[in-house]
Amino acid sequence: MPVYDHRYRGWSGERRSGRFRIWTVARFALGDLWKSRLALLLFIVALLPPLFFAGMIYLASNVEMLTAVGFNVVGPGVDASWMAIDKEPFFWFLVWQSSFAFFLSAFIGPTLVAPDLAHNALPLFLSRPLSRSDYILGKLLVLLLPLSAVTWIPGLLLLGLQTSLAGTGWLGEHWRLVPAVVFGSWIWILLLAVLAIAISAWVKWRPVATGMLFSIFI
């Protein structure tokens, strides 16, 4: 009968710094998240409004194209202000994307901490070189990444598209839109993420946690 050596063997591989511990928690949680077709579908739908606004910006900068297809955009009695790209389109962009960010957080948030508590998995996490703050920040990152992908990141891309079409003079006149999009999005994202994590840790049943998040904002 063979005899196997079951003694403890220390880790001989590469040791990563502490900042990668947060990403380890987030990476596996994101992997589980995107296995859900509903989560993936909701994320894809949330990316459709930026495409619509990009098309609107492009058409507003190419009036000749609209005229060629029969739209009277410069004739008498036509209000040209509806073609102007100023702060109002970006305001409505943030309104739409903030709504999608809320639905994403309501779907994703309850699945982050509650399953670990329900299955008593927290000791397994914390018995490793992982602090409580690393665990919480890793879970928060699972929300911050997709919410950023549907709010301030496409917002900055739309601002870049408008600047490339209208010139840097437009950005000089509307430079306040840049911090407005970034800071406005981050305030909303952090509020949603913290509330979703807190409710997920408090309520272990997902439908109730989702309902509580809806009840806070409705």
User: Residue 25: phi, psi to the nearest 5?
Assistant: -60, -45
pLDDT at 74 over 60: no
- The more confidently predicted of residues 73 and 204 is 204
- Helices of type H across 47-108: 48-60, 63-68, 87-108
pLDDT at 79 over 50: no
- Tens digits of per-residue pLDDT, 137-151? 989 999 999 999 999
Q: Which residues lie closer than 8 Å to 94 by C-beta, 6 or more apart? A: 151, 155, 181, 184, 185
pLDDT at 1 over 60: no
- The more confidently predicted of residues 50 and 32 is 50
pLDDT at 77 over 80: no
- Tens digits of per-residue pLDDT, 149-190? 999 999 999 999 999 988 898 999 999 999 999 999 999 999
Which letter does DSSP use for residue 149 in this model?
H
Q: Mapping DSSP to helix (H, G, I), strand (E, B) and coil, where does residue 14 land?
A: coil
Q: Is the dihedral of CA 145, 136, 212, 34 positive or negative?
A: positive
**Could you tell me if 18 and 134 are in contact, meaning their C-beta atoms sit under 8 angstroms apart?**
yes
pLDDT of residue 206: 74
Q: What percent of the chain has pLDDT over 70?
A: 81
Q: Which amino acid does the sequence have at 101? A: A
Mean pLDDT of the chain: 83
In angstroms, rounded to a whole number, what is the distance separating the alpha carbons of residues 205 and 89?
39
pLDDT at 88 over 80: yes
pLDDT of residue 12: 64
**Could you tell me if 84 and 172 are in contact, meaning their C-beta atoms sit under 8 angstroms apart?**
no
